[in-house]
Structure 1
Amino acid sequence: MEKLTVVVAFLLLTSLFQPLTARNLEIDVFQLDVSQSGCPGVTKDTWPELLGVPAKLARETIQKENPRLTNIPNVLNGSPVTEDFRCDRVRLFVNVLDFVVQTPRVT
């Protein structure tokens, strides 16, 4: 039982450091300019201010700023995702504690 407690504590501690390191390590390999993509009604395509906030609050903020963005799923950071582009989707990459660890953007 003591080993399980240590493992759980370790996992919780490591997940707390992920938002801090994700800000420094985030590398944009492929960046799509939404204004050139022809998405009607999308006035803002990235939300860097939402890094480190709970996913629920991030989702509410994005929907409040742009109601046309209706598909806002939580994705565990590091999980594979499709590369198709949709004007109504913003993926929230989260850690195990459900905090945003990558800049949300229209994808």
Structure 2
Amino acid sequence: MWNQYEAALQGSHKTNNVSEGRHNRFALLFGKHHPDLYSLLREFQKEQADTEVSIAEISLGKSVKAAPKRKWITIQKRLQGIVANYEHYRRNQDILTYLR
């Protein structure tokens, strides 16, 4: 099992594979995990066109990233609070209470 303690404290990404989001996006676009070659090329061309539009918008000063939803901000703050309390429970040798 891989440890997410530091990532939770720092508010970092929770996945270990940055390309996972892109992979899921393409799977959603195709509706299947193994598209044929022509469908793949067509989607790559669309993606390239979208990227060029994004580059042009960024060069004109448009914001790059959408603001995170309030739900995820709340969850992240709660998680950071829980993880921040770990040291207190560890010092008091009360890890089982922390884990509950």
Q: Which has the larger radius of gyration?
A: 2
Higher helix share: 2
Higher strand share: 1
> TM-score, normalised to structure 1's length?
0.25
